[in-house]
Amino acid sequence: MGHKSLEAWVEDVARLTNPAAIEWCDGSDAESTRINELLVSTGDFIRLNPEKHPNSFLARSDPSDVARVEDRTFICSRVEQDAGPTNNWCAPQAMHETLRPLLAGAMRQKTMYVVPYLLGPAGSPLSKVGVELTDSPYVVANLRIMTRMGQVALQELGTSGSFSRGLHAVGTLDPQHRYISHFPDENLVISVNSNYGGNALLSKKCFALRLASVLARDEGWLAEHMLILCLTDPTGRKTYICAAFPSACGKTNLAMLIPPARYRDAGWKVETIGDDIAWLKFGADGRLYAINPEAGFFGVAPGTSARTNPNAIAACSANTIFTNVALQPDGTVWWEGIGGTPPEHLIDWRGQPWQPGSKTSAAHPNSRFTAPAHQAPCISPDWERPEGVPISAIIFGGRRAKVMPLVYQAFNWQHGTYVGATMSSEKTAAAAGTVGELRRDPMAMLPFCGYHMADYWRHWLEVGQRGGEKMPKVFHVNWFRKDAQGKFFWPGFGESIRVLKWIAERCRGAGAATETPIGWLPTVEALDAADLGLQQAAVDALLRVDRQEWQDEAAVRGDYLGSFGDKLPAELLQENQALISRLG
Ligand code: OXD
Ligand code: MN
């Protein structure tokens, strides 16, 4: 017996979009092979060299459709105020009326795929089911990697289980009529005129963050833009850590960090549970437990190399979809920062010949790999634990050339909420817009919070009250501080283990720290960086809290918080005031 409301919805959508066929996806290998072959036959996939990249493909998107589009992303809550000042709002009825003509007949002569998927491990009380209806076989191929897709989700759904609905039509790709519309009151997303990852794989940002953040508010948990890692120390003790950074700021690299030899030999290890999204719920013991709702990595390719992230390179060594990277004559992929000298001849992400010295990049700066998580050698044995993993620390961070030290610890959960609420970062290529511009990106959720940001902060404070002493400790990191010549002070990558080690020590009540007006910073000795050969000036800069710079920062933060009006929790303004008075 089927699921009546799912079947009825599929019929409704088919009546509107008029597909030539409807296909229910089962998630099998045979289905995956068939979809991939279909994409090759239509020219949407190029099969890569089967020896060097088994069962892997290159896809090129329309040049106007290469990133998330925040200005075309809408939160259509019934009440305008519920979307808040950081989201585009449209009344649900008006948006449905706008979308209807765009969807009418949009799937004519195409197949509509019904893609049931599970976010989170099978059998986990934290997992949720979504169903995406799409006319894009590219989306189906990606969803098969990014989620637990097909039969497993239908089983979880049964005949009456609840599910989030996603409707995606490729349409004409017209950027002027591109809509990524969320209807939180209907648990529904409708996306038209884009086939790019974050706009079209509705499981990811649309469901696992925007809709899930609303469900989390209502059900008393947290849906966050965070990696999850497990740090093991030489005694075998494990510390589970979540970290929120804006898009393309190194979440995947941190989640897959390989410590330098001295640390490895001593027994330090980092394992990955997730690289982008965490769902955190209270366990029976009153602690917060996290699951990774996803089953794959949708990682940024440029800058990923055997030196910077060998685990990611291994994860995408087979069964991977590469989108908007460059192609070498031997059927292998290439991107800026992959290592070695650029080949003499390439086909760039637009399908044009490219040579070293060309004015444009060979791979798009936001080009991606979609790879199964279990293929990463660093995947944690705990990554599919149905109950999740107990989180000891939450890290916030961004790209800041100035002001922010390498790491500091918030005084408590309320202060940590303020640190997250006021974090900021220089913009990257993951979203359309001006790269490098500084913007406030609270908890790295600015583009992903499905409701009023100030209500979201209130929710964080309430969750903190519920968890009390058992809440994770909160930290802020910045790997991106630069000297006057624009060179990074901190080597980053594997060397950041030193920061993780201090964080784990602090979670156990150890780790030497200096109290400063902004929080606790590690002492130079506790940073354990003597062997890095950093100049004294670099160490000073990395651990500096400059009063004048911070007074300016606090003033900007005060204005920013003030812009949220009546809904702003008073506690956050109090935290800003407290910072100002500590700065003297
Ligand atoms: C992503 C993003 O794709 O944050 O993860 O843009
Ligand atoms: Mn992300």
Reduced to 3 states (helix: H, G, I; strand: E, B; else coil), residue 542 is helix
What residue owns the CA closest to ligand 1's atom 1? 247
Residue 428: per-residue pLDDT: 72
Domains and CATH numbers, the chain: 4-47+64-220 (3.40.449.10), 224-295+381-583 (3.90.228.20), 296-375 (2.170.8.10)
Distance of alpha carbon 581 from alpha carbon 376, whole angstroms: 47
Distances in whole angstroms, Cα of residue 75 to Cα of each of 21, 71, 197, 450: 31, 11, 19, 6
Distance of alpha carbon 107 from alpha carbon 46, whole angstroms: 24
Q: Which ligand is nearest to the CA of 428?
A: 1
Half-sphere exposure of 433 (CA within 13 A, CB side): 17
Q: Which ligand is nearest to the CA of 225?
A: 2
Alpha-carbon torsion 348, 354, 355, 360, what sign?
Answer: negative
Q: Is 316 a catalytic residue?
A: no
Residue 388: per-residue pLDDT: 98
Residue 1: per-residue pLDDT: 60
Residue 551: per-residue pLDDT: 97
Alpha-carbon torsion 41, 46, 51, 53, what sign?
Answer: negative
Q: Which of 247, 368, 427 to mutate to test the pocket of ligand 1 (most atoms within 8 A of CB)?
A: 247
Q: What is the pLDDT of residues 257-270, one digit of tens each?
A: 999 999 999 999 99
Element (H, E) at 315: helix 310-315
Ligand 1, CB within 6 Å, residue ranges: 68, 198, 247, 276, 298, 430
Write out the two tokens for 389: 């993993």
Query: Could you write out the DSSP letters of every residue in 151-211?
Result: HHHHHHHTTT---EEEEEE-TT--GGG-EEEEEGGGTEEEEES--SHHHH-TIIIIIIIII
Residue 248: per-residue pLDDT: 80
Query: Could you write out the DSSP letters of every residue in 209-243?
Result: IIIHHHHHHHHT-EEES-EEEEEE-TT--EEEEEE
Q: Name residue 245's amino acid.
A: F
Write out the two tokens for 433: 């817009």
**Whether 59 contacts 323, CB under 8 Å:** yes
CA of 202 to the centre of ligand 1 (A): 12
Element (H, E) at 336: none
What residue owns the CA closest to ligand 1's atom 4? 247
Query: Residue 472 gets which letter from DSSP?
Result: P
With a cut of 70, list the residues of the chain below it in pLDDT.
Answer: 1, 429-433, 435
Quote the pTM value: 0.97
Residue 437: per-residue pLDDT: 79
Distance of alpha carbon 167 from alpha carbon 134, whole angstroms: 6
Q: Can you tell me which atom of ligand 1 is nearest the CA of 67?
A: 6
Residue 120: per-residue pLDDT: 98
Residue 116: per-residue pLDDT: 98
Catalytic residue among 25, 76, 230, 249: 249
Residue 461: per-residue pLDDT: 98
Q: Name residue 217's amino acid.
A: R
Residue 470: per-residue pLDDT: 98
Q: What is the pLDDT of residues 329-344, one digit of tens each?
A: 999 999 999 999 999 9
Distance of alpha carbon 465 from alpha carbon 549, whole angstroms: 32
